[in-house]
Amino acid sequence: MPGFELFGESEKGQVQQVLDTGVLMRYGFDGIRNGQWKALELEKALAERMQVKHAQLVSSGTAALTVALASAGIGAGDEVIMPTFTFVASFESILAIGAVPILVDVDDTLTLDPAAVEKAITKRTKVVMPVHMCGSMADLNALKAICAKHSLLLLEDACQAIGGSYEGKPLGSYGDLGCFSFDYVKTITCGEGGAIITNNDDFKMNADHYSDHGHDHIGTNRGAEGHPFLGYNFRISELNAAVGCAQIQRLDEFLTIQEKHYTYLKTAIASIDGITFRRIPNGGVENYSFMSFFLPSTEIAKKAHTALSEAGVDACFYWFDNNWHYYKKWEHLTNATSLGKLPQEVLNQLPDYSKANFSKSDAWVGRTISCLIKLSWTEEQVKERAETMSAVLKRVLE
């Protein structure tokens, strides 16, 4: 991770095919595009790879979450349960449709704690949204059982975990809806882009229409198409989709490299006293984009992170103090700071997160360091990194 590290002739060739037609928009201009429909091509490839009936491309992972929620009819006043550890896009997408983000604790998977989810359910809850952070999944079986019990939708945010699986099913395909990001730093990239996957015909139709201003895409005259409901513009361009057409064919190649590098680094530090690793739920296979491990305490984790950085070990993240990925720095959510007026339902129902007790999340995330696994490392670089990490962590834990 990320896929841009290995851009090559296949990506260039796909983009050139689009440039040769001059048609950069995914819809219309049928007569001059010479049969090039890159968005449709990528949707078909993604649906096949993810073992689902439908895929809908959009402009970003954030757009994917927003469109997925809208396609399922989620709106003003509906509550969506999400984790305290994720990217801000998770709650941005919920607020974008007037719904209310309900934060709950994570556990040693670094994803939604099923017990915390159960406690957070109210009569307004409509969706449980686990976020498969850093390449690994939530306890999906437990979450699916909770959703079935309470008649809730299970929406998988798999934006950081494409290629992982759970009980033999690709991540994103286990729930009612799944979302991916193809931004510049994801395992496969379109530069900018995202996708929704589902087996639900209505959700697919709604996502298709909603992401293109409500166009029903019936017939061959775009200007004459109907608009059965309000929509918005979340379209992906043919240029972005073209890059994705090349990258999706390389996903297994990337996963193999990530697993090799991940395994080497994990082996190098696994026997060090005081280090444990995030729990991968039974039946789960991560995509090996990050190696996440726990130190004995928050203080030691901070010290270790600083020491790794000083030793030249880059791309290791201490999420507990991160501005964008952990609830402690989400003051704009806590204070409901918005350029425009938020819906009254949000203002009335949004919990006071300044007084929330997420000590269980703190206990896990505060002790976590996550190291990005790069595709471009040479064997020598992986070996040097492993030796340096081992030496630094042993010294910190003496």
CA atoms within 13 A on the CB side of 17: 19
Residue 88 sits at φ, ψ, to 5 deg, of: -60, -20
Residue 88 sits in the same domain as residue 195: yes
Q: What's the total number of domains in the chain?
A: 2
Cα distance between residue 278 and residue 294, in whole Å: 7
Q: For residue 269, what pLDDT is reported?
A: 98
CATH, residue 246: 3.40.640.10
Residue 152 sits in the same domain as residue 271: no
Residue 244 sits in the same domain as residue 271: no
Residue 141 sits in the same domain as residue 246: yes
Residue 97 sits in the same domain as residue 236: yes
CA dihedral 128, 78, 157, 180 (to 10 degrees): 150
Residue 63 sits in the same domain as residue 133: yes
Residue 375 sits in the same domain as residue 300: yes
Q: Rg of the chain's alpha carbons, rounded to an integer?
A: 21
Residue 257 sits in the same domain as residue 242: no
> Of 250, 272, 289, which residue is a domain's last?
250
Q: Which residues are catalytic?
A: 186
Residue 304 sits in the same domain as residue 283: yes
Torsion region of 296: left, alpha or beta (phi above 0 gives left; psi -120 to 50 gives alpha): alpha
> Of 220, 250, 280, which residue is a domain's last?
250
Q: Which single residue is written with the structure tokens 């962590």?
A: 393
CATH, residue 341: 3.90.1150.10
The Cβ of residue 124 has, within 10 Å, a number of other Cβ atoms equal to 14
Q: For residue 1, what pLDDT is reported?
A: 82
Cα distance between residue 284 and residue 164, in whole Å: 8
pTM of the model as a whole: 0.97
Residue 271 sits in the same domain as residue 240: no
Residue 215 sits in the same domain as residue 276: no
Which residues neighbour 306 within 8 Å (Cβ) at sequence distance 6 or greater?
Answer: none
Say if strands 79-83 and 125-128 run parallel, antiparallel, or are unpaired: parallel
Q: C-alpha distances in angstroms, 252 versus 49, 53, 248?
A: 10, 21, 8
Cα distance between residue 93 and residue 295, in whole Å: 33
Q: C-alpha distances in angstroms, 319 versus 32, 118, 292, 302, 333?
A: 49, 25, 11, 10, 18
Is the backbone peptide bond immediately before 2 cis, with ω within 30 degrees of 0? yes
Domain holding 361, by residue range, is: 252-396
> Of 230, 250, 270, which residue is a domain's last?
250
Residue 152 sits in the same domain as residue 164: yes
Tens digit of pLDDT at every position of the chain (398 positions)? 889 999 999 999 999 999 999 999 999 999 999 999 999 999 999 999 999 999 999 999 999 999 999 999 999 999 999 999 999 999 999 999 999 999 999 999 999 999 999 999 999 999 999 999 999 999 999 999 999 999 999 999 999 999 999 999 999 999 999 999 999 999 999 999 999 999 999 999 999 999 999 999 999 999 999 999 999 999 999 999 999 999 999 999 999 999 999 999 999 999 999 999 999 999 999 999 999 999 999 999 999 999 999 999 999 999 999 999 999 999 999 999 999 999 999 999 999 999 999 999 999 999 999 999 999 999 999 999 999 999 999 999 99
